[in-house]
Amino acid sequence: MDTAAASYAAVWVARRRKAGYLALADGTVFRGRSFGAAADRLGEVVFNTAMTGYQEILTDPSYAGQHVTLTAPQIGNTGFNPEDFESAAIHASGLLVHETSAPSNWRATETLEAALERFGVPALAGIATRVLTLKLRDGGTQKAFLCASGKVPVEEGIARARAWEGLDGQDYASKVSTQAPYDFAAEGTEGLVAVLDFGVKTNTLRLLAAEGFRVRVLPAKTTAAEVLALRPAGVMLSNGPADPAALPYAAETIRGLLGKVPLMGICLGHQLLSIALGGRTERLKFGHHGGNHPVQELRTGKCEITSQNHNFVVAEESLPETAATVTHRSLNDRTIEGIEARDVPAFSLQYHPEAAPGPHDAAGAFRRFHDLVSSALR
């Protein structure tokens, strides 16, 4: 992309942007200038503390139903490119940034604004993101209405935010999941891994293929019998959006797989494995969202810098000690970040090892799964 042309285009776009606003359910209003799609969306506002990776964040299906506030002050300098999509679309409901910038990166094939317009996602620039972040940190996550069309009065926007059902009790996983099975990697020497797609990220599939597995992706509502009919060497329980308690069908499937095939869960998959083992989940005040969260592996004492995106967490007192052992904890708030089943080959991580935090701190998770599968095949 020609940098001079992109800079000129960015200036021209900034001049034609319409005024927009974000209306929180508590009546607070943040004003900015719209960019991306001239649309209006309801969503839950979260803040993400990552300094880079906005394309991966926006295309992560785990962000479905959420307006993402980026705490880094200037967004857009790396543009968008075909290789860094974590799914086929932008899944975040909206984007909130302090300032935009024109792309200046050799890999960019389109601007951030063009990508947002292409996928119909609204965004606001000029937002007081520090103020908004502190409000969410102190008061907790809020429902909100993002107006980028300029057509909805503020008072109506506040009313819509208050009336929205929110994400609690909502099954968004089946909305973002594939509707039909497909092969991501048809060849491999280490057997077939079936991936239950609750909102899987592309890099998870790449890393499974890199371990030598054949990889088949299955819809979220695939039953245990249908999974086992494929005779998989292992099963991956993927990440995904919204409330794990709203997916009783997934917990039932996992209970039908426990002890019959090795399992690994990531984020939502971790929460669903915990539920299947007898635990329950609860909502965090403002969630964990960012690429810089320290997690301790309890067995070794080692600290990993991790990438995270979740609003719910496994309730400490709910997990039966006879069923699972806690293996990882957050060093920020001591919440559970990993478990291992006691009597069957299964483990899970609350964070995202595929997101290259650290950048390689969590890379061993997929090797661990490989070894678990290999042990079960012996």
Model confidence pLDDT, tens digit, residues 47-103: 999 999 999 999 999 999 999 999 999 999 999 999 999 999 999 999 999 999 999
Residues 140-179: tens digit of each pLDDT:
999 999 999 999 999 999 999 999 999 999 999 999 999 9
List all residues 6 or more positions away from 34 whose beta carbon is below 8 Å from its beta carbon.
17, 18, 19, 20, 122, 123, 124, 148, 149, 150
| pTM of the full structure | 0.94
Catalytic residue among 98, 113, 354, 370: 354
Q: Is the pLDDT of residue 3 over 80?
A: no
Where are any strands of DSSP class E within 49-139?
66-70, 74-75, 94-96, 99-100, 122-125
Catalytic residue among 56, 147, 211, 267: 267
Active site annotation includes 293? no
Residues 237-293: tens digit of each pLDDT:
999 999 999 999 999 999 999 999 999 999 999 999 999 999 999 999 999 999 999
pLDDT band for 16, please (50, 70, 90 cuts).
low
Q: Is the pLDDT of residue 360 over 90?
A: no
Q: How far is CA 179 from CA 81, 201, 245, in A?
A: 25, 15, 21
Hey, do 3-163 and 173-377 end up sharing a CATH topology, with the first three levels equal? no
Tokens of 141: 């996550």
Q: Which CATH architecture does the domain made up of 173-377 adopt?
A: 3-Layer(aba) Sandwich (3.40)
Q: What is the reported pLDDT for 2? A: 52
Active site annotation includes 113? no
Active site annotation includes 370? no
Average pLDDT over residues 302-306: 95
Catalytic residue among 310, 328, 352, 370: 352
- What CATH number is given for 3-163 in this structure? 3.50.30.20
Strand partners, 339: 326, 348
Q: What is the reported pLDDT for 7? A: 47
pLDDT more than 90, % of the chain = 91
Q: Is the pLDDT of residue 17 over 80?
A: no
The domains of the chain are located at 3-163, 173-377
Mean pLDDT of the chain, nearest integer: 94
Question: What is residue 353's three-state secondary structure?
Answer: helix
